Amino acid sequence: MMTRAEFIEKNRHLFWYIKDDKITDISNDVLVEFIFNYGSWEDLKELIEIIGYSELKKVYENTTGMKIGNYFPAAYNYLGLIVKKYAS
pLDDT tens series, the chain, 88 aa: 899 999 999 999 999 889 999 999 999 999 999 999 999 999 999 999 999 999 999 999 999 887 888 999 999 999 999 999 999 8
Nearest Cα neighbor of 7 from 28, 55, 18 is: 28
- The DSSP string of 5-20 is HHHHHHTGGGGTTS-G
Check residue 88 and give its pLDDT: 80
DSSP state letter for 35: H
Number of domains present in the structure of the chain: 1
25 dihedral zone (left: phi>0; alpha: psi -120 to 50; beta): alpha
Check residue 37 and give its pLDDT: 96
Check residue 64 and give its pLDDT: 84
Q: 0.95 cut: is pTM over it? A: no
Q: Are 29 and 13 in contact (CB under 8 A)?
A: no
Residue range of the domain that includes 27:
4-86
Check residue 30 and give its pLDDT: 94
